[in-house]
Amino acid sequence: MKIDSVDFFYLAMPVVTTAGDGSQDALVVRVQAGGHVGWGECEAAPLPSIAAFVCPMSHGACRPVSASVLGETLDGPEDIQRIAAVLAFNSMDLLQAAHTWSGIEMALWDLLGHVRGEPAWKLLGYKKAYPKTPYASVLFGTTPDQTLARAKEIRAKGFRAAKFGWAPYGDSLEGDIAQVEAARQGLGPDGILLIDAGQIFAEDVEAAAQRIASLAANKATWLEEPFGGHAYEAYGQLAKRSGSVKLAGGEAAHNRHMAQHLIDYGHVGFVQIDCGRIGGLWPAKQVADYAVKKGVTYVNHTFTSNLALSASLQPYAGLSDSRICEYPTALSSLATELTTSRIAPNANGEIEVPDAPGLGVTINPAALKTYAVDVEIKVKSRTIFAPPKI
């Protein structure tokens, strides 16, 4: 079958703030081929990602994503990998291409799964999917008391693990210590505590190292993204000093090589991959395989809808030793309403990877209308993008 169309739905909340909440807007992708439909979601600024698909060619190495996708054959996983390779060559100077392709690639696995009646994780080569232990992923409160209340609420809901991240972490050493202590107190002594610095220390190894003692004292499992995603040397230096607190990172990787560099040179203990950024499910699966060889734990990264959550689970569904799973609990109504199906903890408090065809979730058409952003892109008075029909 041939890829007939790729449509982008730009969605957003009525008001988008500077809070580190990635669920405030979304770029949902619909792919149609051979009478079948697949859905995906890009994890990047929607408008530049749309532009990367429709923009005029700048030169031979800067072609729009559409030039490598539309009309291509899609009969099996090998076709998805082939298209990815063609795109990487044709659009090597179009830096947003990886983000745009991520959502499309995700949708291709979803579509192919429906055609074959199999979940995406089986198409990726796994024979069995293992349940994951979800960690409630939330932002720090503006005060330690707010963080304490959030931690207590998370534990009351049955979560055994939680991650607190972003501002105000990094404002002051004393404040950071108080925030971490509050999170630990709220989770209780046996809860799995994870901390996300949100790249606040840039490449300042000494500033990050000052936090290690309090993290260790409060039995934090990891310190996530203390530095910029590409600061491999800084990661490596801090890893030598972090002791029991492992470093985590990888969500900034927009190809598998970047993630592998973080493992090899940054010496992270946990590699976190976002399928909506790295190029989709296949490169994420490659990183998962690489992590296993290196003794590193693979973790999904996601902070948006259940569509993105399901996609993030597929590349490591069959890894029995990589069992922890990011599970956003403070999503916007947009992200919550985007799908009619929900991935929720079972009676054991675990997340089961969907066993239905493709990504195993169903898009809610009403949400595509409710949160639609009216946008049009024109070049030389010609419309090259307009909102698609639902």
pLDDT tens for 125-143 read 999 999 999 999 999 999 9
H/E run at residue 259 = helix 256-264
Structure tokens at 266: 């940054």
150 & 96 share domain: no
Tell me the residue range of the domain where 278 lies: 123-337
Whether the pLDDT of residue 19 is over 90: the answer is: no
**Within-domain flag for 297:** yes
Of 160, 149, 148, 216, nearest to 184 (Cα)?
A: 148
Whether residues 148 and 13 fall in one domain:
no
My answer on whether 227 and 317 are in the same domain is yes
CATH number of the structural domain spanning residue 55: 3.30.390.10
* Rounded-to-integer distance, Cα 193 and Cα 189, Å: 9
Q: Specify whether 165 is located in the same domain as 223.
A: yes
- 276 and 213 together in one domain: yes
Buried b (16+ CB within 10 A) or exposed e, 257-293: ebbbbbbeebbbbbbbbbbbbbbbbbbbbbbbebbee
Cβ pair 199, 249 in contact under 8 A: no
> Does 329 score more than 90 pLDDT?
no
Q: Over the stretch 70-103, which tens digit does the pLDDT of each residue have?
A: 999 999 999 999 999 999 999 999 999 999 999 9
Determine the Cα–Cα distance for residues 320 and 322; give it in Å rounded to an integer. 6
**Number of domains within the chain:** 2
Q: Do 202 and 240 belong together in one domain?
A: yes
On the CB side of 54, CA atoms within 13 Å amount to 20
In whole angstroms, give the CA distance from residue 80 to residue 138.
34
Question: At 168, is the pLDDT very low, low, confident or very high (cuts 50, 70, 90)?
Answer: very high
- Domain assignment present for 346: no
User: Does residue 127 share a domain with residue 75?
Assistant: no
Is the pTM here over 0.75, yes or no? yes
State whether 225 and 109 are in the same domain.
Answer: no
Residue 360 lies in a domain: no
Query: Is the pLDDT reported for residue 58 higher than 90?
Result: yes
